[in-house]
Amino acid sequence: MTSDPLIALRPWEAPEVTSWGRLPMNAVDRRRGALPLDGDWRFQLLPAPHAPVGGAWSTAYLPGVWTMRGTDDPPQYTNVRMPFAEVPPHAPAANPTGVYERAVDVPADWAGRRIVLQVGAAESVLLVYVDGRPVGISKDSHLAAEFDLTGVVRAGQRATVRLTVVKWSDASHIEDQDQWWHGGITRSVLLYATDPLHLADVTVRAPCSGELRVDCRVRHASGALPEGWYLTGDLDGRPLAQDAEFDRANVEDERVSDFLGEARLLATVPEVRTWNAETPELYDLTVRLHRADGTVADTSRHRIGFRDVEIVGRDLLVNGERVFIRGVNRHDFHPLTGRTVSYDDLRADLVLLKRFGFNAIRTSHYPGDPALYDLADELGFYVVDEADIESHDHAHEIADDPRYLNAFVDRVSRMVLRDKNHPSVIVWSLGNESDYGANHDAAAGWVRRHDPTRPLQYEGAARLGWADPDVASDIACPMYAPLQDCVAHALSGEQTKPLIQCEYSHAMGNSNGTLADHWAAIESTPGLQGGFIWEFWDHGILQRVSDGRPAGRGGAGLYDNGVAAPGYRWAYGGDFGETIHDGAFIADGVVFPDRTPKPALYEHREIAAPVRIECFRHEGIVLGNHQHFRGLDWLAGEWRLDLADGTTLTAPAELPSLCPGETAAVPLPFEVPRDGGEAWLTLRVTVAEDQPWAPRGTEVCMPQVRLRGPAVTPAVPVERHVDVDGEGLLVHPLLTAAPVLSLWRAPTDNDELGGIAPRWRTWGLDALVRKVVSVHREGDRVTVLAEYAGATGVVRHRQVCTPVEGGVRVDEEAELPEEFDDVARVGSVFETVPGLDLLEWFGQGPWEAYPDRSAGAPVGHHSVPVDELFTPYLRPQESGGRHGVRHFRLSAPDATGLSVVLDEPRQVSVTRYRAEDLTAVAHHDELVPRPGCVVHIDAAHRGLGTASCGPDTLSSYRVPPGVHRWSWTLRIL
Ligand code: GAL
Ligand code: MG
C-alpha cells in the first residue's frame, strides 16, 4: 500500500479522471514575467508508478523526454497498434515513471500574490507535489496544466516541486498517434504570480468589419470580487478610449458577482488592415484590469488580426475569398530531443514552409506549442488546430465509451479556450483516426456553442458522407482520397461542403508523385480547395551506431544536408531494439530529420507559384497573379533564356502591376538567336524586399515556357569501328560495364508498400538473365540481339551500335511481353571509370525529378557533382533521377570524360550505386559508394505515386508492355 494519495487513486487507469486541482484553460498569456523553471532537475526513472522513489538521483534537463537520454526506456515507434497488449482503459504493469524534482526559490516580492505553476506539456499523466503535498493531476499531453500554489508555497521561501510523469495510461489509448512514443515533459515549466484580482480569460472577436469585441472574465483569488474594478484597453498603442471609445462607458453588459466578473470592450477600427496568410497584418491589443483606485491589477497582451472565416455553399472563405489551402501536416519533432522544440525550431519550420509555398498547417495530431500559433499569426499561415485525440487501435470502442467522454470534451475545449484568439486558426479539428461516436458529438457541441466563428472538421465523421449534413464536420476532409473521386464529387452536383483533404500526397521516401496533377484539378474544379500533405518531418532520430543510443542534445552539428555524420544514423522503427514497431513508416516527411528539404518541396514551390507564365503569344509573355490578396510588388524577377547549344542570356524583368487573378502580357525580353536549337524562357522570381521569412533575393518560383522546339541534327556515321566482345557487349575505354537493358529500380517505399515491387520480384525483374541471340556486323554497324529472361517472361532486346564522329550511336529496342505490364523502367544501364565526378546536363533540374514529379524542375543547363546527385532517403531506394534530359556530360577536373546526346528528353540518373546496392541495405549509412558512376538512361520510367499510403501514380505514368525504342550517342570529350 502506498501512502501517496495520488498514486493510490491509480489515475493512470481512470479515464474519467482528466484532472484534479488543475485550473481552467484560458487565453491569457503568462509567459512574460514568469519565473522559468526550465533547466536541470533531479531525476529518477521508476519501473512503475507505485515503485518507491529511491535516494539516487541523476540530472535531467527540462523540457525533455527521458526516452532520449540513453535510459533503458528508449523511444519506440508504432503507427496504429498500441505498444502494449492491455485494452482501454488499462496500462501495462511495467510502466516507466519519471520523477523530476527541484527546489524553487519563490521571489519575496510575490508576497500577497496569487502564485501559479504551469507545466507546458507532460506525457501522459502528470502528478504534481509541492513539499511532499499533492497538488494536482493532469492528462492531455500537449496542452499546459496550471495549478494554483498560492496557499502551498510562500513568497521568499524555498519550495520543493516534484513532477511525476507516468508514461502509460488510459490516456495513451487516445494518444495513439503515428509517431514515436516518449515519456517526459516536452514543453517549458514556469511559475508566475498575479494579483489576487486577475484576468481569468480574454476572448477576442475581430472581424474584417473592424468591429472589435473583447470579452473578459475576471476573478479574485479569494472568491469575492472587490467593488469598482474596471477594464481599459488599447490597440497598437492608441488608447482605445480616445481612439475608439474604449472606456468604461463602453463596458457593456457588465455583471459582477461574488465570484466572476464579465465585461466587454467594444471598438470600431476604421480602415482596418485585415489579416490573411499573404499579408498577416497584426495589431497589438492590451487589456488592463484596474482596481477601483485606478491602479492596474492585471494585464493581458495579444497580437490580434482582423479576419473572417466562413463557409458559403461549398467554399471555405477567408475574408470573403475562396483561398486555396496549400497545407502540410506538422508534428512536434526534433532529431536530438525527440519531441521538444524550441522557439527557434518552430520558427525555422515555418520559415521553410513559407519559402516552399505552403500557406496552411494542420497541427497533426494535437495542439502545438503556444509559440507555433504566434508564429503562424506573424508569418501568415492558416491553421487547422487539432485536438489531442487519436484512439486508432481501439477507435471503435472508445468513440462511444462514456468513460472517455470527459476526456474528449476536455481536450477539445481546452484547445479552443487556449487558441481562440489567434487569427491564424481558421478551423478546429476534433482529432484524428478515432472512429466517430457520441463522444465526438459532445465535443463538437461544446465548440459550436463556445466559438461559433470557426468551422469544425473531423475526418472520422466526414468519411460517413462527404455531403452528410448530420455529421460533426463542416468540411469534407478525407485522407488520401483518389483524385478522380474528389473531382467526381465536385462535379456530382451533390457536394455541399468544401473538399479539403486533411492528408494527401504521402511523402514517404522518394514520393509525392502526381502532386501537379492534384493541383491542376484543384485549381480548375470548383469545390476542390486543397489539402495538407502528409507530412512535414522524416522522424529519424540521430543514433550512435556503436551503442544504439540516441545521440541526444550532444548530437548537435553531427549531421549535414540530410545525412548523419560517420558513426551516426537516422534511426527509425526497430532501431532501438523494439520488437513491436512499424519500421521506416515514420520517415514520411518532405524534409529530412535535420530539416533539409527533399526534392519534392521544389515541386510544391513551383505548383504554389504566386506568379505564373500563362502562355506565349505574339504580343509577348502573358503573366498571371495567382495570389488571393496581394499584388506582385513584393516580388522581383529576372529573365533567362537557355538554348540547347549552351547559350544562356539573362535580362532584368519588370513585373507588371497585377491584382489577384489578373493577367497581362509583357514583351519578350530577348531577341532569340536564330540558331542554337531548343529554347526555354525562365522567369526567376525572388523576394524584392526582406520579408520576415525570407531575405531579399530568396527564390520564390521559376515559371518557364518553351519558345522553340529542338532542331533535329542526325548523327552522321563515319568510317570507324565499334568494338563488341564475344557476349555482344560494347567495349569502350570509359565504360567499366557495357550498356545493358534495365527494367528494375531499387523499390521506393511506395513501390514496396504499394505492392508494386513484390510484383516485379515475382516477374524476376531484379535478376534478369541476359542471353545473346546473335551478333551481326553490317559494315561498321553491329547489331546485337539478346533475350532477357525473367521468372515469368522474356524480353527481346536489340541494340545497334553505329560509329559516328567522335563516338558511337546506340539504337535500342525492347519488346516487353504482355505480362510485364507496369515495370519500373525500360532503359540502358552502364558504368564508367572512376574520376568522372561532374555531371552537366541540359534538361530539367537541378534537383531530382521523376515523370510524375517534374513540374518544379525547370529546363536549363545544370551542373552538379555526381556525389550530390543522390538523395539520401533514410531507407535507400531509387533516388537521384533527373527528368527531361536532352544531353549530358560526365567529366573529370581536367575536362576529359564523355558526353551523351539523347534522342528525346529522357529520365537519366547518375549515381554511385547499382539498384542492387540500394536494395541490399536498410539505412543510408550502410551504403558503400562505387568509385565510378552508374548511369541509367530510360526510355520510360514509372512515376512515383504515393502508394505507401494512398493512391498509386496515374495510369499515364506507368510503363506499358510492348515495344520501347530509344537511342543515344556516346562520345569521348
Ligand atoms: C494517416 C494518419 C497519419 C499517418 C498517415 C500515414 O492515416 O492520420 O497519422 O499515420 O496516415 O503516414
Ligand atoms: Mg493513426
Q: Contact, 531 vs 503, CB < 8 A?
A: yes
In this prediction, residue 326 carries a pLDDT of 98
Give the residue whose CA is nearest to atom 6 of ligand 1: 949
- pLDDT, mean over the chain: 95
Averaged over 290-312, what is the pLDDT? 97
Decide: 178 in ligand 1 pocket, CB within 6 A: yes
Task: Give CA–CA dist 287/301, Å, rounded.
Answer: 6
Which residue matches cell numbers 527564390? 699
Q: Is the pLDDT of residue 527 over 50?
A: yes
Q: pLDDT exceeding 70 applies to what percent of the chain?
A: 98
In this prediction, residue 524 carries a pLDDT of 98
CA of 80 to the centre of ligand 2 (A): 5
CA of 178 to the centre of ligand 1 (A): 6
Task: Give CA–CA dist 217/200, Å, rounded.
Answer: 5
Task: Give CA–CA dist 73/84, Å, rounded.
Answer: 14
Residue of 176, 362, 534 to test ligand 1 pocket, by largest number of atoms within 8 Å of CB = 534
Task: Give CA–CA dist 435/441, Å, rounded.
Answer: 12
CA of 177 to the centre of ligand 2 (A): 5
Which residue matches cell numbers 475574408? 319
In this prediction, residue 251 carries a pLDDT of 46
Q: Say which ligand is closest to the CA of 80.
A: 2
Q: Per the structure block, which three cell numbers stand in for 834?
A: 572512376
Q: Is the pLDDT of residue 424 over 80?
A: yes
In this prediction, residue 715 carries a pLDDT of 66
Give the residue whose CA is nearest to atom 3 of ligand 1: 178
CA of 364 to the centre of ligand 1 (A): 9
Q: Say which ligand is closest to the CA of 389.
A: 2
Q: Say which ligand is closest to the CA of 176.
A: 2
Averaged over 704-727, what is the pLDDT? 83
In this prediction, residue 262 carries a pLDDT of 87
Residue of 433, 459, 581, 750 to test ligand 1 pocket, by largest number of atoms within 8 Å of CB = 433
In this prediction, residue 77 carries a pLDDT of 98
**Residue 224 bridge partners (DSSP):** none
Confidence grade of residue 618 (pLDDT, cut at 50, 70, 90): confident
Q: Contact, 60 vs 39, CB < 8 A?
A: no
In this prediction, residue 256 carries a pLDDT of 57
Tell which atom from ligand 1 comes closest to the C-alpha of 506: 12
* Tens of pLDDT, residues 13-53: 999 999 999 999 999 999 999 999 999 999 999 999 999 99
Confidence grade of residue 250 (pLDDT, cut at 50, 70, 90): very low
Task: Give CA–CA dist 333/142, Å, rounded.
Answer: 13
Residue 109 burial (CB count, 10 A): 10
Q: Is the pLDDT of residue 592 over 80?
A: yes
Residue of 77, 78, 79, 948 to test ligand 1 pocket, by largest number of atoms within 8 Å of CB = 79
Give the residue whose CA is nearest to atom 9 of ligand 1: 178
Q: Is the pLDDT of residue 252 over 60?
A: no
Q: Is the pLDDT of residue 162 over 50?
A: yes
Tell which atom from ligand 1 comes closest to the C-alpha of 79: 10
Which residue matches cell numbers 478515432? 434
Task: Give CA–CA dist 831/765, Å, rounded.
Answer: 19
Query: Any idea what DSSP says for residue 173?
Result: G
Q: Say which ligand is closest to the CA of 508.
A: 1
CA of 709 to the centre of ligand 1 (A): 44
In this prediction, residue 205 carries a pLDDT of 96
Decide: 231 in ligand 1 pocket, CB within 6 A: no
Tell which atom from ligand 1 comes closest to the C-alpha of 365: 9
In this prediction, residue 718 carries a pLDDT of 72
Q: Are strands 296-304 and 179-181 parallel, antiparallel or unpaired?
A: unpaired
In this prediction, residue 487 carries a pLDDT of 98
* Tens of pLDDT, residues 863-881: 999 999 999 999 999 999 9
Decide: 586 in ligand 1 pocket, CB within 6 A: no
Query: Any idea what DSSP says for residue 724?
Result: B
Confidence grade of residue 247 (pLDDT, cut at 50, 70, 90): very low
Tell which atom from ligand 1 comes closest to the C-alpha of 949: 6
Decide: 433 in ligand 1 pocket, CB within 6 A: yes
Residue at 416: amino acid letter: V
* Tens of pLDDT, residues 747-793: 999 999 999 999 999 999 999 999 999 999 988 899 999 999 999 99
Decide: 174 in ligand 1 pocket, CB within 6 A: no
Averaged over 266-279, what is the pLDDT? 95
Decide: 201 in ligand 1 pocket, CB within 6 A: no
In this prediction, residue 249 carries a pLDDT of 37
Decide: 429 in ligand 1 pocket, CB within 6 A: no
Give the closest residue to 852 by CA, choosing from 877, 881, 826, 892. 881
Tell which atom from ligand 1 comes closest to the C-alpha of 80: 10
Q: Say which ligand is closest to the CA of 460.
A: 1
Q: Say which ligand is closest to the CA of 534.
A: 1
CA-CA-CA-CA dihedral for 694, 699, 701, 704, to nearest 10: 160
Element (H, E) at 416: helix 405-419
* Tens of pLDDT, residues 168-195: 999 999 999 999 999 999 999 999 999 9
Give the residue whose CA is nearest to atom 4 of ligand 1: 178
Give the residue whose CA is nearest to atom 2 of ligand 1: 178
Contact partners, residue 726, CB within 8 Å, separation at least 6 = none
Decide: 588 in ligand 1 pocket, CB within 6 A: yes
7 by DSSP, 3-state: which?
helix
Task: Give CA–CA dist 791/656, Å, rounded.
Answer: 60
In this prediction, residue 245 carries a pLDDT of 38
Decide: 432 in ligand 1 pocket, CB within 6 A: yes
Decide: 79 in ligand 1 pocket, CB within 6 A: yes
In this prediction, residue 2 carries a pLDDT of 76
Q: Is the pLDDT of residue 619 over 90?
A: no
Cα 541 to chain center, whole Å? 16
Full DSSP string of 38-73: -EEEEEEEESSTTSPP-S--EEEEESEEGGGTT-SS
| Cis-peptide into 535, omega within 30 deg | yes
Q: Is the pLDDT of residue 322 over 60?
A: yes
Q: pLDDT exceeding 90 applies to what percent of the chain?
A: 92
Tell which atom from ligand 1 comes closest to the C-alpha of 535: 12
Tell which atom from ligand 1 comes closest to the C-alpha of 364: 9
Decide: 503 in ligand 1 pocket, CB within 6 A: yes
Decide: 534 in ligand 1 pocket, CB within 6 A: yes
Cα 201 to chain center, whole Å? 32
Averaged over 522-550, what is the pLDDT? 98
CA of 390 to the centre of ligand 2 (A): 7
CA of 897 to the centre of ligand 2 (A): 51
Helix (H), strand (E), coil (C) string for 305-332: CECCEEEECCEEEECCEECCEEEEECCC
Tell which atom from ligand 1 comes closest to the C-alpha of 433: 8
Instruction: Using only the alpha carbons of the chain, give its radius of gyration.
Output: 31
In this prediction, residue 259 carries a pLDDT of 72
Task: Give CA–CA dist 123/175, Å, rounded.
Answer: 9
Task: Give CA–CA dist 693/379, Å, rounded.
Answer: 7
Residue of 174, 178, 504 to test ligand 1 pocket, by largest number of atoms within 8 Å of CB = 178
Query: Any idea what DSSP says for residue 148?
Result: E
Q: Contact, 723 vs 853, CB < 8 A?
A: no
CA of 865 to the centre of ligand 2 (A): 40
Give the residue whose CA is nearest to atom 11 of ligand 1: 949
Averaged over 629-646, what is the pLDDT? 97
Q: Per the structure block, which three cell numbers stand in for 361?
A: 498547417
Averaged over 313-338, what is the pLDDT? 98
Decide: 693 in ligand 1 pocket, CB within 6 A: no
Q: Is the pLDDT of residue 519 over 50?
A: yes
437, HSE (Cβ side, Cα atoms, 13 Å): 21
CA of 526 to the centre of ligand 1 (A): 27
In this prediction, residue 246 carries a pLDDT of 32
355 by DSSP, 3-state: which?
helix
Q: Per the structure block, which three cell numbers stand in for 699?
A: 527564390
Q: Is the pLDDT of residue 441 over 80?
A: yes
CA of 757 to the centre of ligand 1 (A): 22
CA of 626 to the centre of ligand 2 (A): 35
Q: Say which ligand is closest to the CA of 509.
A: 1
CA of 519 to the centre of ligand 1 (A): 21
Decide: 25 in ligand 1 pocket, CB within 6 A: no
Residues labelled as active-site residues: 433, 503
Residue at 371: amino acid letter: A
Decide: 410 in ligand 1 pocket, CB within 6 A: no
Alpha-carbon dihedral sign for residues 77, 79, 82, 84: negative
* Tens of pLDDT, residues 718-729: 767 788 998 999
